[in-house]
Amino acid sequence: MNCWKCKEPLKELPTFFCSSCKVVQPPHEGVSFFSIMDCEDTFALDTHKLQKRYLLLQRSLHPDNFSQKSAEEQEYSEHQSALVNKAYKTLQKPLSRGLYLLELKGMRIDDGTDSGVDAEFLFELMEINEALERAQTPEEADEISRDTKWKLKGLTAEIDGALRAGELQTAKALLAQMKYFSTIEEKVKEKLSGYM
């Protein structure tokens, strides 16, 4: 790969700026979000490091910095900035990070499928949803929120273990469960905002 402007070779991927002429480069296809955000491709990653990297990249790549530059540089900064946003958004939350890791390994969890979810688990979800509907006070909704957060924390540890051990089917099933609990967490937030 060479710089689009000065034609000097780019030393590594992803490259945001040419080391010779300092011009912003177009995004490179197929570079993983982990590479873009300069972090290990593991489920349990350091989200503080991730956020620091995100802020650093956005400060240097933000399109406002390129308003006086050539049309190419403006376009590339927009694409790079959007890609950095997408990478950060994907890796920031455990659920989207886990789904992305599975995707990198050639697996997907399709929307609306109950992959790896048994009847007992679905019954538990139904009970939680009914309890949330019946909740009359912020305290009751908050209790469901605490339980859900505790379950999500446990699932996070289990998913990390499964991915480290290379047990992709197990990780996929656990991520499907995490998806359901994340939905409940959103419903709890909506319910709690209704009390304000």
CATH of the domain at 157: 1.20.1280.20
Paired tokens of 86? 């997408």
- In a domain, residue 113? The reply is no
Let me know whether 140 and 85 are in one domain.
no
**Sign (positive or negative) of CA dihedral 27, 28, 29, 31:** negative
- In a domain, residue 61? The reply is yes
Let me know whether 86 and 131 are in one domain.
no
Average pLDDT, integer, range 148-166: 95
- In a domain, residue 131? The reply is yes
Q: What is the pLDDT of residues 61-94, one digit of tens each?
A: 999 999 999 999 999 999 999 999 999 999 999 9
- In a domain, residue 108? The reply is no
Average pLDDT, integer, range 1-10: 94
Please tell me the distance from the alpha carbon of residue 93 to that of residue 112, in angstroms, as a whole number. Answer: 20
- Read off the pTM: 0.87
pLDDT at position 91: 98
- In a domain, residue 3? The reply is yes
Average pLDDT, integer, range 168-188: 94
Q: What is the pLDDT of residues 15-57, one digit of tens each?
A: 999 999 999 999 988 899 999 999 999 999 999 999 999 999 9
pLDDT at position 114: 54
pLDDT at position 194: 85
| Torsions phi, psi for 44 (to 5 deg) | -90, 80
pLDDT at position 11: 86
Let me know whether 143 and 66 are in one domain.
no
Let me know whether 54 and 123 are in one domain.
no
What range does the domain containing 9 cover?
A: 1-92
Q: What is the pLDDT of residues 100-145, one digit of tens each?
A: 999 999 987 776 555 557 899 999 999 999 999 999 999 999 999 9
Let me know whether 6 and 88 are in one domain.
yes
Average pLDDT, integer, range 148-160: 96
CA distances from 141 to 56, 100, 127, 128, 131 (A): 38, 31, 14, 10, 9
